[in-house]
Amino acid sequence: MKFEHNYIDGQWCPAALGATRTITDPGNGEVLAVVAESSREDSVRAIAAARAAFYRDGAWRRMSGPNRAAKLFAVADRIEARAQELAVLDSRNSGKPLREAEGDVADAAACFRYYAGLIGKPQGGVYEVGDGFGPMHAYTVHEPVGVCALITPWNYPLLMATGKLAPALAAGNCVVLKPSELTPLSAVELFRIFEEVGLPAGTANLVLGAGPDAGHELAASSDVDMVTFTGSTKTGQSIATAAVGNLKKVGLELGGKSPNIVFADADLEGAVEWAMIGVFFNQGEVCSAGSRLLIEESIKERFVERLAERARALRIGHGLDNPDLGAIVSQAQLDKVLGFIERAQAQGAQLVCGGQRVVDGDCAKGFFVQPTIFDRCTPDMEIVREEVFGPVVAVQTFRTEDEAIALANDTRYGLAGGVFTTDGARALRVMKEIRAGITWINCYNPTFNEAPWGGYKMSGYGRDLGVNGLHEYQQVKQVNINLRPGPVGWY
Ligand code: NAD
Is 489 among the domain residues?
no
Which of 371-409 are b and which e, b meaning 16 or more Cβ less than 10 Å from the residue's Cβ?
bbbbbbbeeebbbbbbbbbbbbbbbbbbeebeebbebbb
Is 448 among the domain residues?
no
At 22-55, the pLDDT tens digits run 999 999 999 999 999 999 999 999 999 999 999 9
Domain identity same for 274 and 176:
no
Domain identity same for 117 and 206:
yes
Domain identity same for 211 and 265:
no
Give yes or no for residue 212 CB within 6 A of ligand 1. Answer: yes
Domain identity same for 148 and 274:
no
Is 175 among the domain residues?
yes
What CATH number has the domain bearing residue 285? 3.40.309.10
174 is annotated as an active-site residue: no
Closest C-alpha residue for ligand 1 atom 38: 287
Whole-number CA gyration radius for the chain = 24
Domain identity same for 81 and 39:
yes
Domain identity same for 215 and 349:
no
Model confidence band, residue 1 (pLDDT cutoffs 50, 70, 90): confident
Domain identity same for 191 and 273:
no
Relative to the CA of 242, which ligand 1 atom is closest? 19
Is 490 among the domain residues?
no
Number of domains in the chain: 2
CA–CA separation, 349 and 386 (whole Å): 14
Q: Is the pTM of this model over 0.95?
A: yes
What CATH number has the domain bearing residue 201? 3.40.605.10
Relative to the CA of 156, which ligand 1 atom is closest? 43
Is 450 among the domain residues?
no
Q: Exactly one of 111, 148, 287, 353 is catalytic; name it.
A: 287
Residue 153 is predicted with a pLDDT of: 98
Q: What percent of the chain has pLDDT over 90?
A: 99
At 376-425, the pLDDT tens digits run 999 999 999 999 999 999 999 999 999 999 999 999 999 999 999 999 99
Domain identity same for 363 and 332:
yes
Give yes or no for residue 255 CB within 6 A of ligand 1. Answer: yes
Domain identity same for 179 and 281:
no
Q: What is the distance in A from the centroid of ligand 1 to the CA of 155?
A: 9
Is 423 among the domain residues?
yes
Is 403 among the domain residues?
yes
Domain identity same for 286 and 410:
yes
Q: What is the distance in A from the centroid of ligand 1 to the CA of 357?
A: 24
Supply φ then ψ for residue 298, to 5 degrees.
-65, -20
At 123-182, the pLDDT tens digits run 999 999 999 999 999 999 999 999 999 999 999 999 999 999 999 999 999 999 999 999
Q: What is the distance in A from the centroid of ligand 1 to the CA of 152?
A: 6
Supply φ then ψ for residue 289, to 5 degrees.
-45, 135
Domain identity same for 283 and 327:
yes
Q: Which domain holds residue 76?
A: 2-254+459-478
At 438-454, the pLDDT tens digits run 999 999 999 999 999 99
Give yes or no for residue 71 CB within 6 A of ligand 1. Answer: no
Is 301 among the domain residues?
yes
Domain identity same for 242 and 271:
no
